[in-house]
Structure 1
Amino acid sequence: MDNVKIEEMDWMTYRDLVKTGEKKIIIPVGAIEQHGPHMSLNPDVLIPEYIAKEVAKRTSSVLVAPAISYGYKSQVKSGGGNFFPGTTCVSGSALENYVYDVMHAFVEHGCREIVLLNGHFENSAFIAEAADRLAKHFGGKGIDIKVFMLSYWDFVGEEIIAKIFPEGFTGWAVEHGGILETSIMLCIHPKLVNMDKAVHIEPAVFPPYDVFPPEPSWVPSSGTLSSPVGSTAEKGGIILEECVTKISNIFE
């Protein structure tokens, strides 16, 4: 299909595509969150949205829903926390209920398989709860549905990591605003990245616990948890191809 975005379809075309339950709908779920001085606030939305569209183009069974742009609260040890202007988050219950309601509507339209494609680590538990609730709700009505929940970074294999980080990978936990996300954004939205503003830092080191209220001094002043220096569009393309290929294989 040339057009895989449901919001760009007229309602009759959309109705005819989903009423039999044969089409899966991918919902990208992200966040508006600072990613350092060198990058826009929306990589967590744009990256899963891009991957979703590419997967839909490669398969005949997938449509793409509008992204859910606001995610669960940024946490200090994975996203830098809520100390930075621009980071705009919702509560876990708000995210769970919102995702649940959107999926519920798609099932009522006729869809029977939904894919939640996550781009923001902190969302995971709450969108999982929404998926579980939805499955139990419709299962109790005798309607068989299935919800897949994916985080795109889980599809980046060790060989790709070794290629991107030949000197060693410090781990996903501190990749917020680092080489992986920045490289992907350089590939898909280069105008939203300014490498002249990239700040080189050593990977953040955190204690083995969290504390509330969160402690701002734990977070580098740049907001990133590792250095984006060394990011390239070529690296981003390698990462994306790995993710799109592996996710497409699930839904062929």
Structure 2
Amino acid sequence: MTPSAQTARPLAGRVVAVAGATGTAGHATVRRLATAGATVACAGTDARRLDLLLDATRRAVPGATVVGQVLDLLDPQAAGDWADHIEAEHGSVDGLIHLVGGWRGSKKFTDTDLSDWDFLHDQLVRTLQHTSLAFHDALLRSPAGRFAIVSATAAARPTAGNAAYAAAKAAAEAWTLALADSFRGLAAARADTDPELSQQHAAAAILVIKALVTPEMRAAKPNAKFAGYTDVADLAETVADLWNRPATELNGQHLWLTPR
């Protein structure tokens, strides 16, 4: 590959899995990764929405290598099989971007419906647990393994009507930081036995937003300011940039895409 081609396609040769790929941020993220040259393996729960995503990406990025699989990531076996399939099919897994989302809330704290917590725990926490456990070892085997979730300012600053959502996001952050500690600790353990293996290659990071805004949302409300919102294109750019940062500097970090 020529230097100019490497510049245009910096992720050529990388294999990146995107969980929750058909959601709000999925289209922009998958397209950006494909444009950068990555092979993108997408998972979603709706076959029609997944087909639309794949078709739109292939039209926008001629020659893109993008595949999809309908999965229920609440099933740990399905998550494990997905990770194994990607590595067997493509030779490696260099990234897992967890975009599975959802929101439930209330007007007042005392109006909180705890069934909202059950829903958010499954969507934001349980799918994260299953995918991170499934992909952990493959990301360690990669020369540049990257893992990222999208969190929210609510995790650090919960509001009265946002209790279930904020608690789920905080739990997701804690889980991701534990994953980061695993990457860090295993690199240190390798260094004790073989100094040549001391370099850390895998990293887990947390992308923090207030909320996301899409071009469709802006078109529907042209006079709205969407103050503090993060454009899905900016989120996608941050995801693609994860491989430009050293693992030791990225691991366990909060990357803020909105004012603190």
TM range (shorter): 0.3 to 0.5
Report the TM-score when normalising by structure 2.
0.39
Structure scoring higher RCO (CA < 8 A, sep ≥ 6) equals 1
Task: Return the structure number with greater helix share.
Answer: 2
Higher strand share: 2
* Structure-1-length-normalised TM-score: 0.40
